């Protein structure tokens, strides 16, 4: 499997499930077997994930990526042995960091829900091609990660403005919007991936979708209050 297919969700899930370390091996940079250069995607993902790990209190050294060719079995063995030894020195997940495992799991699971949002927000950097090791540390900053999670974008359909036109509902890529004809639409915040499609497609004359930064969306209105009664024009 191409290392470019390793998703941020996979790595976070591994740590959430209690893995002490995660190792990713890929082809050498600029030697992609599929001409997609997915190993750059994997590298950028790891650099981002290391900053996220530091943010939640995990030692970033528990995650490692190395590049080598399929014919370099000896190098692979040396690298994996070295990584395994280092993980043993760090000890079980959370021990050397003095982090409560239940609290850590809660944090990781919350971040896992935000993976689609994170990839959208950081897509330009995640698609970059770094030329040398000196660029690695500067790709993502700790301040950038802090801001990423403190200013999470949410979308909310204002019930006073929604006209139940169903445009946002039809265009939502994950079917996170419920509603129907003459029914005020509601976004399922747990299912929403924060892609902003609803915000972009809502007709300007309605402007029913609010973009909220760093604050939770208001609770949805009760089902019995979602019916829209249209005024009949007099003939």
Give residue 216's pLDDT: 87
Host H or E run for residue 59: none
Residue closest to 220 by CA, chosen among 186, 196, 190: 186
Euclidean distance between CA atoms 222 and 134, whole angstroms: 54
**pLDDT tens digits in sequence order for the chain, 235 residues long:** 788 899 999 999 999 999 999 999 988 888 877 778 889 999 999 999 999 999 999 999 999 999 998 788 899 999 999 999 999 999 999 999 999 999 999 999 999 999 999 999 999 999 999 888 889 989 999 999 999 999 999 999 999 999 999 999 999 999 999 999 899 999 999 999 999 999 999 999 999 999 999 888 999 999 899 999 877 666 6
DSSP annotation of 61 = G
Out of 3.40.1400.10, 3.30.70.20, 3.30.470.20, 3.60.15.10, which CATH number does the structure's domain 153-225 have?
A: 3.30.70.20
Give residue 231's pLDDT: 74
For 216, residues 6+ apart whose C-beta sits below 8 A from its C-beta are 154, 189
Whole-prediction pTM value? 0.85
**3-state SS assignment for residue 192:** coil
Euclidean distance between CA atoms 117 and 121, whole angstroms: 6
Give residue 82's pLDDT: 97
State the burial class of residue 108 (Cβ atoms within 10 Å of its Cβ: 0-12, 13-18, 19+): buried
Confirm if 217 and 155 have CB atoms less than 8 A apart.
yes
Euclidean distance between CA atoms 198 and 154, whole angstroms: 11
Give residue 191's pLDDT: 92
Residue 137, sorted as left (phi over 0), alpha (psi -120 to 50) or beta, turns out to be alpha
| Domain boundaries defined on the chain | 3-150, 153-225
Give the Cβ contact number of residue 95 at 10 Å: 11
């Amino acid at each position: 499997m191409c290392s470019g297919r390793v998703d941020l969700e996979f790595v976070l899930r591994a740590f959430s499930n209690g893995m002490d370390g995660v190792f990713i091996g890929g082809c050498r940079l600029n030697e992609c077997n599929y001409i997609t250069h997915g190993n750059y995607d994997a590298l950028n993902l790891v650099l981002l994930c290391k900053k996220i790990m530091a943010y939640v209190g995990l030692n970033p050294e528990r995650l490692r990526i190395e590049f080598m060719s399929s014919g370099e079995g000896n190098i692979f063995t040396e690298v994996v042995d070295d990584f395994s030894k280092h993980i043993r020195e760090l000890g079980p997940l959370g021990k050397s960091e003095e982090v409560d495992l239940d609290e850590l799991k809660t944090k990781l699971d919350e971040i896992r829900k935000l993976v689609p949002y994170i990839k959208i927000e950081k897509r330009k950097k995640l698609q970059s091609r770094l030329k040398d090791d000196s660029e690695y540390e500067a790709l993502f900053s700790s301040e950038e990660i802090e801001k990423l999670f403190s200013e999470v974008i949410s979308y909310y359909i204002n019930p006073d403005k929604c006209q139940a036109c169903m445009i946002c509902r039809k265009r939502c890529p994950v079917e996170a919007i419920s509603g129907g004809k003459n029914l005020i639409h509601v976004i399922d915040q747990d299912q929403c991936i924060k892609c902003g499609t609803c915000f972009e497609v809502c007709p300007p004359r309605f402007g029913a979708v609010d973009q909220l930064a760093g604050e939770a969306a208001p609770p949805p209105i009760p089902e019995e209050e979602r019916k829209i009664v249209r005024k009949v024009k007099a003939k």
